[in-house]
Amino acid sequence: MSGGREILTLVAQRQDLDQFRRKNWEGSFEEYLDVVRADPLVTRNAFQRVYDMVMSYGTEAYEEARERRIHYRFFDDPDDGGRDAVFGLDRPLELLVNAFKSAAKGYGIEKRVLLLHGPVGSSKSTIARLLKKGLERYSGRDEGALYTFGWFNDAKAHVEWCPMNEEPLHVISPRFRGDVEARLNEGRSGEQFQTRIVGELCPFCRYLYADRLKKYDGDWPRVVNDLRVKRFLLSEKDRVGIGTFQPKDEKNQDSTELTGDINYRKIAEYGADSDPRAFNFDGEFNIANRGLIEFVEVLKLDVAFLYDLLGASQEHKVKPKKFAQTDIDEVILGHTNEPEYRRLQNNEFMEALRDRTVKIDVPYVTRLADEIKIYEKDYMTKLQKLKLYNGKSLPGFTEENITELRDQCHSEGMQGISPRYVQDKISNALVAHPDARSINPFMVINELESGLKHHTLLTSDETRNHYRELLQVIKEEYENIVKNEVQRAIAADEDALKRLSANYIDNVKAYTQREKVKNKFTGQYDEPDERLMRSIEEKIDVPDSRKDDFRREIMNYIGALSIDGKQFNYKTNERLHKALELKLFEDQKDTIKLTSLVSNVVDEDTQAKIDVVKGRLIRDYGYDDESATDVLNFVASIFARGDTKSGS
């Protein structure tokens, strides 16, 4: 097979066709009504969607200074490996999420601007970025799905989609909405989510709706027969459902940036600048409809902008040039620093804005432990850099980051220890252990460390201590490597892995399809084994709040292979393969009794199992008999002291 064909095959195996089809669903208005009946959550407003998105990641309750606190895992940024994680701000974040909750329930905060207020560098922008990224991902998950609509144009043979991606139920006339809502919510209790139709058509859709009513002589079913409904995904880059506005110089601010502007090229086609088809509904308020708009340094806005902001927050309406007020549904999130906020307080003309603002203070972190976490997140260790330079991928880092690192460190590689020193210490280790058939890393590390005090180019204790610290990092990394290799050697039982994989997949299939699993011993049908599934998923840090996503991902992957006529093999899914190996290791390490090696009391059965593991270490990892024995004894001593944490 050619290299190009291999790459195409690799991509084909990893694509998820079923998920792609769900994300790109398109159908009739009648089919959409069936979607709403089955899952009314698709009709949530922006605040409800943001709140549910945050809560979908789960929470942790704890006590601090005799007060109950809630930690929202969403702000740990688990999807990006903690790149934008926020530390030490649980109280402000709790206030923010409570504001989302209140707005979601319609208690009044939905008519306010949420203002993050704090000093420079206190994570205001990071919080906004997390919410925008989270919404993008949430809209791609089944539980975060949302839909919009367009009008089929016979003359042009294409669909003219709503420029503001509004809710398809807006086409239902206000006088029929009560009856339609009652039918859509039929059979649901008061505690369950109820569909509510709020908002009117945008000027563009209102024009086409009126045109269709006239065309079909008021026959509404024929009007909506021209409708096409589609699922869409929120995306800041594509300017769909997520907007960001940053004020420029006051002389250059233009309110059309928020509410859209006339398309002069289309005036010749449609004859008037008041025709909505000759208007670009592409201002930040327009494109952020159904999602979130972030105002960077919001209090630097020109007064003309503030009028738009007040109407958008209080009335959920904006006023495009030459058109009536237009409904919007979006979370308005602004942030500002202390000097700008004091200016707001001292300006009597800003009273209306102050009255429509919910201020959430975002202070600097005051706990040392949280401050340390910030620096640990932002500053890379030398070991991480070594791995990146060696071509290994790490969460949160890209090839561009590596280029930036090299560019920033002009003197990198100009200082350090000569390879000759390392060669000399390897020679010393060989001489110091004449009876050994091979030398192990610790022999070399000990020689490297003991030789530092005699190194002629290391002139200070501070420099020597620096290299001793680096050697300690190497020891810890080596421990992780050998633990990982021994674990994988123990769990390399192909038949056992296949059985465990099949059992897991059977349970996941039943769980995702809401079915039962046949017990091969009793013949009875049981509920899916949640304990088994979680015991595997926890090995690769899949949190309980994300288990459904992971299980659907596995089933989608299997489905995509099936479509291509291929059979699923656990080895082709790297994460699942790792989880199965770690689970099997956990199950088998006690039967092998590695810890008994430390006491040198090993029965024949255990010795046979250990010999199998040694054989795998020799075959798969390049050990010889002596070094395989040494590494098993070393890892056994780690388990004996209770350190069983898996290596990375």
* Distance, C-alpha 646 to centroid of its chain: 24
Residue 66 burial (10 A CB sphere; 0-12, 13-18, 19+): exposed
For the chain, the C-alpha Rg in angstroms (whole number) is 31
Q: Report the range of poorest mean pLDDT among 251-260, 326-335, 608-617.
A: 251-260
Structure tokens at 248: 């420029």
Structure tokens at 534: 């979680």
pLDDT at site 647? 45
Q: Report the range of poorest mean pLDDT among 178-192, 216-230, 492-506.
A: 492-506
Residue type for 346, please?
A: N
Q: Among positive and negative, which fits the CA dihedral 346, 350, 351, 356?
A: negative
**What's the 3-state SS for 27-41?**
ECHHHHHHHHHHCHH
CB contact at 8 A, 293 and 110: no
What Å distances lie between residue 645 and 320, 587, 635, 642, CA to CA? Answer: 59, 15, 11, 9
Q: Which of 3-17, 272-286, 426-440 has the highest mean pLDDT?
A: 272-286
Contacts of 610 (CB under 8 A, 6+ apart): 592, 594, 597, 602, 632
Structure tokens at 545: 């709040």
CB contact at 8 A, 278 and 263: yes
Question: Quick check: pTM over 0.85?
Answer: no
Structure tokens at 615: 């054989």
Angle between helices 625-640 and 461-490 (to 10 degrees): 100
Query: What is the arithmetic mean of pLDDT over 584-589?
Result: 75
Specify the long-range contacts of residues 583-588, CB closer than 8 Å, at least 24 apart: 583/491, 583/500, 583/535, 583/536, 583/539, 584/490, 584/491, 584/493, 584/496, 584/497, 584/500, 585/487, 585/488, 585/490, 585/491, 586/535, 586/539, 588/490, 588/491, 588/493, 588/496
- What residues does 70 pair with on adjacent strands? 61
Higher pLDDT, 610 or 168: 168
Give the separation between CA 245 and CA 340, rounded to whole angstroms: 17
Specify the residue for token string 């009255």: 355
Reply yes or no on whether the pLDDT at 397 is more than 90: no
Other CB atoms within a 10 A radius of the CB of residue 557 amount to 20
Reply yes or no on whether the pLDDT at 27 is more than 70: yes
Reply yes or no on whether the pLDDT at 594 is more than 70: no
Specify the residue for token string 């058509």: 201
**Mean pLDDT across the chain:** 84
Each residue of 276-293: pLDDT tens digit? 999 999 999 999 999 999
pLDDT at site 290? 96
* Distance, C-alpha 394 to centroid of its chain: 16
Reply yes or no on whether the pLDDT at 616 is more than 90: no
pLDDT at site 201? 96
* Distance, C-alpha 499 to centroid of its chain: 31
Q: Among positive and negative, which fits the CA dihedral 620, 625, 628, 632?
A: positive
Q: 447, 400, 440, 395: which is closest to 421 by C-alpha?
A: 447
Specify the residue for token string 């029965």: 603
Q: Using the 8-state DSSP alphabet, how is residue 647 labeled? A: P
Each residue of 536-555: pLDDT tens digit? 998 888 888 888 888 888 88
- How many helices (H) and strands (E) would you count in the chain? 28, 17
Give the separation between CA 15 and CA 21, rounded to whole angstroms: 11
Residue 318 DSSP SS3: strand
Give the separation between CA 447 and CA 421, rounded to whole angstroms: 10
Structure tokens at 513: 């399809």
Reply yes or no on whether the pLDDT at 645 is more than 70: no
CB contact at 8 A, 362 and 89: yes
Q: Among positive and negative, which fits the CA dihedral 125, 127, 130, 132?
A: negative
Helix (H) or strand (E) segment spanning residue 506: helix 494-512
Give the separation between CA 56 and CA 141, rounded to whole angstroms: 11
Residue type for 210, please?
A: A
Residue type for 484, please?
A: N
pLDDT at site 220? 93
Reply yes or no on whether the pLDDT at 39 is more than 80: yes
Q: How confident is the model at residue 591 (pLDDT cuts 50, 70, 90)?
A: low
Helical spans, DSSP H, in 111-202:
124-140, 174-184
Domain boundaries, the chain: 26-38+147-184+197-231, 489-640
CB contact at 8 A, 255 and 305: yes
Structure tokens at 580: 């199965």
Give the separation between CA 228 and CA 221, rounded to whole angstroms: 13
Query: What is the arithmetic mean of pLDDT over 202-211?
Result: 95
Helix (H) or strand (E) segment spanning residue 280: strand 279-280
Q: Report the range of poorest mean pLDDT among 132-136, 332-336, 352-356.
A: 352-356
* Distance, C-alpha 46 to centroid of its chain: 19
Each residue of 464-516: pLDDT tens digit? 888 888 888 888 888 888 887 887 787 777 888 888 888 999 999 999 888 88
Residue 84 DSSP SS3: coil
Give the separation between CA 30 and CA 402, rounded to whole angstroms: 52
Query: What is the arithmetic mean of pLDDT over 557-571?
Result: 80
Each residue of 111-136: pLDDT tens digit? 999 999 988 878 899 999 999 999 99
CB contact at 8 A, 370 and 126: no
